[in-house]
Structures are given as C-alpha cells and as structure tokens.
Structure 1
Amino acid sequence: MNGRGHSFFPLIVLTIMAGVSVWLDRVTQQEQAIKTDKNRHEADFSAESLTLRRFDLAGKIQYVLVADRMVHYGDDESTELVRPRLDYLNRPEPVRIESEFATVSKDGATVVLTDQVLLRRAAHNGKPESTLRTDQMTVWPDDEKMRADKPVKLTQGQTVITAEHMESDNIVGEVRLHGQVRGMLYRTNPTPKP
C-alpha cells in the first residue's frame, strides 16, 4: 500500500495545481468583466435630498447647493442633479440659481444647469428684484462666475433686456451681454435736468 500511496501523490499535486489554475483563470476573467462594466455609463450611487455647504476662508457660508436627487457615474466621475438650487449667501442681497437638471464636473468646479434656468437676485438698497432666465447656464460656484451660451432674458423691475449670450462675475459685479442685445430700461428715480 505504501508503494501505491507514493504513486498517487504526483497525481494529487497535479489535480490541485490544475484546480488552482482554473480558479485563477476565472478570478482574472471576473476582474476584467468588472473593469469593462465600469466603462459603461451606469450609476454607481445616488442620494435623495442632497445639501452641500461651501464655506469661505473666514468660516462663513459662501453658498449652499440643494438638490432633490443626485446620481454619480463611475466611468467619467460625473454627477447629475435633479432640481438643483444654488444659494449664494455671502452678500447683502441673496442670489439663487435653480433649474430642473444639472451636471457637475469630476472636480466639482463646473456646474451646467439646464431646463428652465432661473437666477433671482433679491431686492436691495432700493433696487427691485432682478431675474435672469435661460435654457442653459454654466456656473463656476467657487469663483462666482456664470456663462449662458443660449438666449437670456434679464429683468429688474420694469426693465427687460434680452441677449443671445451672457457672462457674469458676481464678485466684481459685472454682467456682459453679447449678440443682439435689446431692451427697455426704466429708471425709478428720474435724472434731474440742469
């Protein structure tokens, strides 16, 4: 029996090695399948009722981003937001930007708002509320800059201005309108005549 046991030992070792080889082959194929699945544009996680607060260097809230739903995609690290609202709170007159949908870049520095974009600046120091409406707007929240490459409509009290494109820098307080700018300007206080 001892002679027979020694003759089965190489067969047992070969069987174990064959089993390990088959197992390693299957494991590596599963890892490749996982990698190819990551190339598909599928959500890897989502969240409901999202609230994100950004603080400035002094510790005061710079802005608050709220969305009904957030979906993140692992293949390109992009994020989609449903009904986003971006509130800038670090100014005398609060500013809110909202839309039906938005996409956020991988690094979070760029937000593209689409579908019924509305920017509302509260009334302040005797100036009436201001609004801006467009179909698409790119926002750089940290820099407080915006650009609309679709037609825009600005209102402030009775003043209404339309343009094909718009760029804005909230920190500087500058708005640039481009392409067939038209409007009616109304002054609340008439300019005295000399």
Structure 2
Amino acid sequence: MMKWRHGLLFPLILAICLGGLSAWLGRISEVDIEEVELNPNEPQYAMSGIDGKRFDEQGRLKENLNAKAAWQLPKSNEVTFEKPQLVLYDNGKLLYKVESNKAGYNTENRTVTFKENVILTKTAEAERPAGILKTSNLIVDTQTKIAETKAPVEYRYGESYGTANGLVYDYNKGFLNLPSRVKAIIYDPKNI
C-alpha cells in the first residue's frame, strides 16, 4: 500500500511544480507597455536627403520626389518637405517638374502643396509646347494631374506669356485656365 501512495504522490508534486513554474514564467515574460503621448509640435519622424520614387504597373517611373529634409508631426496626414522637387512621368516620359522652398504632401489624398518660390516646368511634346510657371503656392494632385493656385502667377507656354491671378492646369486635357486678371501675349503655334 505504501508503494501506491508514493506512485501517486510523485505525479501530483510534479504537476504542482510545473503549474507554479508556468505561472512564474508567464508573469516574468509579460511586457508592460507604457504609451507616451508625443509632443504635437515636434516631429514624430524626421529624414534628410529624401529621394522617393513611385512606379506604374509596368515598372516605369511615375513619380520622383526628392527633398533636402522631411518630417511629419504626430497625428498628421501631412509630410512637410524642405526644398522639394517633384518630377512626374507618363509612360516613362517626363511630364513636368515642380520645385519650391517648402511643400506639404497629404498622404490620404496624394496632393502636394508647394509653397514659396514655386516653379513648374513642363516639357515640350509633339502637340504641346514647353511651359514654365512661377507663383507663391501651387497644389498638385498627383492622381488627376491637375495643378492649381489662386495666387498671382507668371507663365510662359510656348511663345505665349503673361500674368494672371490664379490658374488651373489639367494635363490630361492640355487645358490651362486663367480665371481672373489676365494680361497675356498669346501666339498660335500654327501661325508662327
């Protein structure tokens, strides 16, 4: 009868020891995560020497954004850039380049707001002349390929040039709309 008690006692003690060891290991392996509220006025991320590229479905370069520095504040959808340059391509061909002193890229709607000394350069194509535009701010929608501003602009489009208050340029339609206070010299490229 004595043998039977010891035979039952060993598995019982072993089960209690293993249960205690399991509980102790579970307790020491718990990680306490302390959430720290970030300062909303200090960048959550900061980078320097930025050169980002996006490619189309065929692997051709679609967008190239480079900048001297970039940062993002906590709980913000906007990445701020210092000395940015955005170059957009279509089917691997250069469409236009936009550069400025500062810019903000909205990560949700993929628009870039260029600020301070904005220069947009459009390359010449078979049916469309080269162009250059200067303004104080410009919003570029990278999805629709529309650039717009309400600020005063100076532009040259082929041999035509002038000034206006505001503009909307739709690349897909090849349409430049100057909504107000336009002073321009316009040349028809077919008659030159």
TM-score by length of 1: 0.72
| One-letter identity of the residue aligned with 2:178 | L
Deviation at 1:167, TM superposition (A): 1.0
Q: Corresponding residue for 1:68?
A: 68
Q: Corresponding residue for 1:101?
A: 102
Contact 2:87 2:94 in 1 (8 A): no
Distance in structure 1 (CA, Å) of the matches to 2:161 and 2:69: 33
Q: Corresponding residue for 2:87?
A: 87
Contact 1:81 1:102 in 2 (8 A): yes
Q: Corresponding residue for 2:179?
A: 178
Distance in structure 1 (CA, Å) of the matches to 2:83 and 2:100: 6
Q: Secondary structure at the match of 1:43?
A: coil
Q: Corresponding residue for 1:142?
A: 143
Q: Does 1:40 align with 2:40?
A: yes
Q: Which runs of 5+ in 1 are unaligned?
A: 1-26
Q: Does 1:167 align with 2:136?
A: no
List per-residue Cα deviations over 1:133-188 (Å, max 9, x = no partner): 11001111122111111011111344212111111221222221111112012345
Contact 1:139 1:147 in 2 (8 A): yes
Q: Secondary structure at the match of 1:62?
A: strand
Distance in structure 1 (CA, Å) of the matches to 2:83 and 2:145: 20
Identify the structure with the greater strand proportion. 2
Distance in structure 2 (CA, Å) of the matches to 1:127 and 1:175: 12
- The 3 A distance-change label for structure 1 pair 50 and 41 is same
Contact 1:39 1:75 in 2 (8 A): no
Q: Secondary structure at the match of 2:143?
A: coil
Contact 2:52 2:64 in 1 (8 A): yes
Contact 1:164 1:181 in 2 (8 A): yes
How many pairs are equivalent? 160
- The 3 A distance-change label for structure 1 pair 82 and 108 is farther
Deviation at 1:97, TM superposition (A): 0.6
- The 3 A distance-change label for structure 1 pair 138 and 130 is same
Deviation at 1:129, TM superposition (A): 3.1
Please say which of residues 113-122 and 70-79 is displaced more in the overlay: 70-79
- The 3 A distance-change label for structure 1 pair 79 and 164 is same
TM-score by length of 2: 0.73
Q: Corresponding residue for 1:24?
A: none
Tell me the C-alpha RMSD between the 2 structures: 2.5
Deviation at 1:58, TM superposition (A): 2.9
Q: Corresponding residue for 2:113?
A: 112
